[in-house]
């Protein structure tokens, strides 16, 4: 490198470093694109204290979170507009919903701000006590078992589609308008099963209105003690979770990404934050790099792309 070029590089690097040290110098807006409102309010409150700048939560409902995603994709890459992403971020990209490219338009920051398993629950009258029992029953009754979900194209719907594809069974998806309606449909026997976010079904499991036979995470979850994972129950490599993570527009300086990553991890390591999130049904991780989060999103996109192609998954 020539001396002049080296000087320009050092000046640019110093400018970025200085910018990061001053960041944030004004309020930071976080758009919620399918992520948990509980998580961003708990984590945002603590980031506000740490940064001494407001973290403004901007919920943009519609199109399964794609409206919020598209706003962030077009925002200036200065660290002041971030996205709280969730499974729908990769799902919508795989199903070609929304005007964005998950890899081109975004820079990953941190994933471990909160995640939760989905729980495979069935009506107590269904003669199944395990994943193996359910698969055997579905094969004996092809097309006769129905699974509900709170929306078409959401992660709980596609958890069922992924289960069907990997177990090679035929079941019918029945969409409802909201989590409550879908859970009620299973409890009344209108549908036989569903994949549900843990907090929405735990009270009903505890009193016997629903039977939990597995969780969707790779291993058993402390949020649903005593319930094995689908992968541990014989459907190897099955894994889905309700993850949440921060993304920035592509081109955001690496020094700012590193700062947000470090500060977000500082917040979620706090015992009071972990307790509040766990009470709401979410776990946090102690460590996660931008590169690790980027690799995770890439795997998520690939998983849902394969599902869309092989099972012809649609938003029905």
Closest CA to 284 of 260, 268, 264, 296: 268
Question: What is the DSSP track for 193-223?
Answer: EEEEEHHHHHHHHHTTSSEEEEESSSS--TT
The number of CA neighbours under 13 Å toward the Cβ of 310 is 14
Give me the pLDDT at residue 8, please.
42
Domains of the chain and CATH, by start: 3-115+241-310 (3.40.190.150), 118-240 (3.40.190.10)
Give me the pLDDT at residue 80, please.
98
| Ordered per-residue pLDDT tens for the chain, 316 residues | 444 444 444 444 444 455 556 899 999 999 997 778 899 999 999 999 999 999 999 987 665 678 899 999 999 999 999 999 999 999 999 988 888 999 999 999 999 888 999 999 999 999 999 999 999 999 999 999 999 999 888 999 999 999 999 999 999 999 999 999 999 999 999 999 999 998 899 999 999 999 999 999 999 999 999 999 999 999 999 999 999 999 999 999 999 999 999 999 999 999 999 999 999 989 998 789 999 999 999 999 999 999 988 876 655 4
> d(Cα 296, Cα 299) in Å, to the nearest integer?
5
Burial class (CB in 10 A: 0-12, 13-18, 19+), 11: exposed
Closest CA to 118 of 159, 174, 164: 159
DSSP SS3 for 111: strand
- Strand-pairing partners, residue 195, are 120
Give me the pLDDT at residue 6, please.
47
> d(Cα 68, Cα 92) in Å, to the nearest integer?
12
Distances in whole angstroms, Cα of residue 167 to Cα of each of 2, 162, 220: 60, 8, 19
Closest CA to 87 of 31, 37, 151, 154: 154
**Strand bridging mode 193-197 / 211-215:** unpaired
Give me the pLDDT at residue 250, please.
98
């Amino acid at each position: 490198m020539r001396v002049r070029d080296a000087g320009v590089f050092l000046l640019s690097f110093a400018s970025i470093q200085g910018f990061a040290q001053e960041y944030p110098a004004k309020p930071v807006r976080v758009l919620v694109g399918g992520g948990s409102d509980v998580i961003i309010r708990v984590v945002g409150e603590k980031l506000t204290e740490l940064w001494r700048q407001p973290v403004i939560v901007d919920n943009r409902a519609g199109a399964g979170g794609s409206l919020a995603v598209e706003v962030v994709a077009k925002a200036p890459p200065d660290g002041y507009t971030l996205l709280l992403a969730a499974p729908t971020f990769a799902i919508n990209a795989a199903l070609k919903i929304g005007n964005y490219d998950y890899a081109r338009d975004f820079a990953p920051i941190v994933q471990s701000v909160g995640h939760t398993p989905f729980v495979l629950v069935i009506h107590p009258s269904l003669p199944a006590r395990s994943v193996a029992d359910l698969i055997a029953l579905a094969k004996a009754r092809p097309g006769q078992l129905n699974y509900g979900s709170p929306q078409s194209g959401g992660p709980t719907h596609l958890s069922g589609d992924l289960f069907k594809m990997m177990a090679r069974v035929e079941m019918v998806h029945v969409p409802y308008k909201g989590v409550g309606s879908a859970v009620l449909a299973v409890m009344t026997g209108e549908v036989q099963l569903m994949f549900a976010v843990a907090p929405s079904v735990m009270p009903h499991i505890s009193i016997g209105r629903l039977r939990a036979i597995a969780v969707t995470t790779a291993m058993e979850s402390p949020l649903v003690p005593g319930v094995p994972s689908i992968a541990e129950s014989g459907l190897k490599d099955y894994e889905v979770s309700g993850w949440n993570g921060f993304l920035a527009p592509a081109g955001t300086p690496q020094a700012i990404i590193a700062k947000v990553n470090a500060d977000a991890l500082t917040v979620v390591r706090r015992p009071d934050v972990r307790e509040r999130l766990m009470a709401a049904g979410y776990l946090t991780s102690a460590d996660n790099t931008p590169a690790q989060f980027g690799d995770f999103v890439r795997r998520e996109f690939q998983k849902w792309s394969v599902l869309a192609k092989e099972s012809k998954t649609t938003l029905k």
